Amino acid sequence: MDDIKEKSDFIREIIRQYLNNENEEKDNSERSAKTKKIHTRFPPEPNGYLHIGHAKSICLNFGLASEFGGKCNLRFDDTNPTKEEQEYVDSIKEDIKWLGFDWDSREFYASDYFNRLYEFALILIKKGKAYVCDLSSDEIREFRGTLKEPGRESPYRNRSIDENLRLFEEMRLGRYPDGSKVLRAKIDMSSPNLNMRDPIMYRILRRSHHRTKDKWCIYPTYDWAHGQSDSIEGITHSICTLEFEDHRPLYDWFIEQLEIHHPRQIEFARLNLTYTVMSKRMLLMLVEEKHVSGWDDPRMPTISGMRRRGYPPEAIRNFCSQIGVAKADSTVDFAFLEYIIRENLNKNALRAMAILNPLKVIIDNYPEDLSEELTAINNPEDDSAGTRKVPFSKVIYIEKEDFMEEPPGKFYRLAPGREVRLRYAYFIKCESVVKDDKGNILEVHCTYDPQTKGGDAPDGRKVKATLHWVSEKHSIPAEVRLYNHLFAVENPYKTEEGGDFKDNLNPDSLKVLKDCRLEPSLLNVKPGDIYQFERIGYFCVDIGSTKEKIIFNRTVTLKDEWAKIKKSV
């Protein structure tokens, strides 16, 4: 979809081998490569909003399916009614669609399989491979042993099959209080892999489920539900993150006991980004404690936050494909994300002129009542975007940053006695400065050269800088929100003793500018529209923006050579 060249990574390698029938058992090799299809799935839990880390998984799973001519399901892993909500289901679907992926009619839920799972559990009990355990959660933990010491067997481990069948049935019927009993797999309490020490399959939980409502009072655990759900759906490649690597033996065990379709699980390293956190638990905390305005706050690494911030879905897809897939833990530099965003927006965003911090400039020799329409290019990277007219008059605004009374050597914008170009307009020369009692610059007086209309001098003289501007009387007001990193440090998890990741929140992550002035062509912008404000950055019209009150969010700045020079001086 986005990349021309064929991608290659260890997962695609495995899939190509699978499709070529390499390393396969005899009976499978009968199936021709032509009829062999892959089937993946994206399995979110609806307990929060999707973030850029999920985008990596979505791009991988849906991308693999489309590259290799297979299918990808959307399956909600909704096995824990205490945390899951319909709101999250809705947001997840919206975000995946917005990212540009389609699950057709294959929208599934682990809860669709509650009956099947119950039947599967019965099979295990009948095989003597699962039992009802009356130990409390504390006792279970105690009996589990530690990383170094083996666990001990539960005193309920050797109940008869009939008793287990009866008890499990009664659990389902609601005869026992929450937490009083669980169904456990009977595997090996001395396994060095803690996941194999008789893991819990069902717990009693009287909580209404967002889909099955009050039908069940026992719910399967993720470990019990996940692998079987993949199997039921005929998933060929179950792609998940690294932390599930040592759950794989358990999933294999369940599948083998049940003698059902066996998907191949492949684990990859989850995405980390500098200057942010990527855990739904922590993001939820930021939302609930109002450190941000919501899940879609433009500072959030959520898909909805990035959408509101102005990151195009195509750019996010490119990002996900360019960071690659591997098994080594990694933290991608936020600057790389910004590079991808700029790369995309530079090609696509229309240009406009906007003044964030207005400084009044009066052109003394320009006629009082005259105004001219000057021609401006909409996108120098795309001729088809055409041109527009921008009004010019005697009083204009320029950026405060673009004028210095006593400029250092490397500053080559406007200064007393100096001539610069106003983009698409004229050369102007600074003649004087008007200040208040405190020395604040109120206005700058200039003269213009009528010969330089459009921006070129007939005598061939050059200027070192071109400034953007808006005509005072034609300009329209706007609010502009400047966003910076949510966290002040690259790794927010690193805190002082007893500290909290929130201690690292960046106090300057949002700066609201209320007195900005825009060129009049921006009067009818709609939420979601994206522009490059020339010489400043890319800005996206906020969802809360109206014609009466226009609000722009800064998506990302332009690269700024001058900022670097300034810093180094």
Partner RNA sequence: UGGGGAGUCGCCAAGUGGUAAGGCAACGGGUUUUGGUCCCGUCACUGCGAAGGUUCGAAUCCUUCCUCCCCAGCCA
Residues marked as catalytic: 45, 270, 280
What track of x and - describes contact with RNA for positions 53 through 92 (by CB under 7 A)?
A: ------------------------x-xx-xx---------
Near RNA by CB under 7 A, which window of 54-62, 252-260, 286-294, 343-351? 343-351
Min separation Cβ 512 and RNA, Å: 23
Q: Which of 18, 62, 168, 219 binds RNA (CB under 7 A)?
A: 219
Exactly one of 107, 456, 503, 515 binds RNA (CB under 7 A); which one? Answer: 456
- The H-assigned helical ranges of 36-113 are 52-67, 86-99
The minimum distance between CB 42 and RNA, in angstroms, equals 12
Among 1, 326, 434, 523, binds RNA (CB under 7 A): 326
The number of residues in the chain equals 569
For residue 511, what are the contacts with CB-CB under 8 A and spacing of at least 6?
A: 481, 482, 484
* Chain residues 294-313 in contact with RNA, contact rule CB under 7 A: none
Contact region for RNA (CB under 7 A) — 239-247, 299-307, 510-518, 521-529? 239-247
Cα–Cα distance measured from residue 266 to residue 206, given in angstroms and rounded to the nearest whole number: 34
- For residues 341 and 556, the answer to whether their CB atoms sit within 8 Å is yes
Q: Does 380 bind RNA (CB under 7 A)?
A: yes
Judged by beta carbon, residue 326 or residue 523, the one nearer RNA is 326
Q: Kind of pairing, strands 264-268 and 271-273?
A: unpaired
Residue 111: exposed, middle, or buried by beta-carbon count in 10 A (0-12, 13-18, 19+)?
buried
Burial class (CB within 10 angstroms; exposed 0-12, middle 13-18, buried 19+) of 283: buried
| Structure tokens belonging to residue 528 | 């979601």
Binding window for RNA (CB under 7 A); candidates: 61-69, 200-208, 284-292, 439-447: 200-208
Residues 383-412 that bind RNA (CB under 7 A): 410-412
Residue 350 CA neighbour count, 13 Å, CB half = 16
Touching RNA, residues 471-530 (CB under 7 A): none
Instruction: Among 424, 483, 487, 539, indicate the residue that binds RNA (CB under 7 A).
Output: 424
Among the listed ranges 14-22, 62-70, 310-318, 531-539, the one in contact with RNA (CB under 7 A) is: 531-539
Instruction: Classify the phi-psi angles of 395: left when phi > 0, otherwise alpha if psi is within -120 to 50, otherwise beta.
Output: beta
Shortest distance (Å) from residue 554 CB to RNA: 14
Give residue 12's Cα distance to chain centre: 23
564 binds RNA (CB under 7 A): yes
Q: Smallest gap, in angstroms, from Cβ of residue 149 to RNA?
A: 8
Beta strands (DSSP E) in 306-452 are 330-332, 350-352, 354-355, 358-363, 371-377, 387-393, 395-399, 419-422, 427-435, 441-449
In this complex, which beta carbon is closest to RNA, that of residue 69 or of residue 192?
Answer: 192
| CA 344/CA 312 separation, integer angstroms | 8
Does 237 interact with RNA (rule: CB under 7 A)?
Answer: no
In angstroms, what is the minimal distance from the CB of 402 to RNA? 8
C-alpha–C-alpha distance, residues 58 and 319, integer Å? 12
In the complex, what is the shortest distance from the CB of residue 78 to RNA, in angstroms, rounded to a whole number? 8
Task: Give least dist CB 449 to RNA, A.
Answer: 12
d(CA 560, CA 569): 15
Residues 92-111 interacting with RNA (rule: CB under 7 A): none
Give 40's DSSP letter: E
Q: Are 513 and 282 a contacting pair, CB within 8 Å?
A: no
Pick the binder of RNA from 24, 36, 163, 221 (CB under 7 A).
221
The residues near 138 (Cβ < 8 Å, ≥ 6 apart) are: none
* H or E segment and range at residue 457: none
The footprint of RNA on this chain (CB under 7 A) covers a number of residues equal to: 89
Q: Which of residues 24-53 bind RNA (CB under 7 A)?
A: 45
Q: Which of 154, 532, 545, 553 binds RNA (CB under 7 A)?
A: 532
Closest alpha carbon to 278 in 246, 306, 301, 295: 301
Token digits of residue 512? 């609201």
Nearer to RNA, 246 or 543 (CB): 246
Q: Minimum distance between the CB of residue 249 and RNA, rounded to whole angstroms?
A: 8
Q: Which of residues 122-181 bind RNA (CB under 7 A)?
A: 135-137, 140-141, 144, 146-148, 178-180
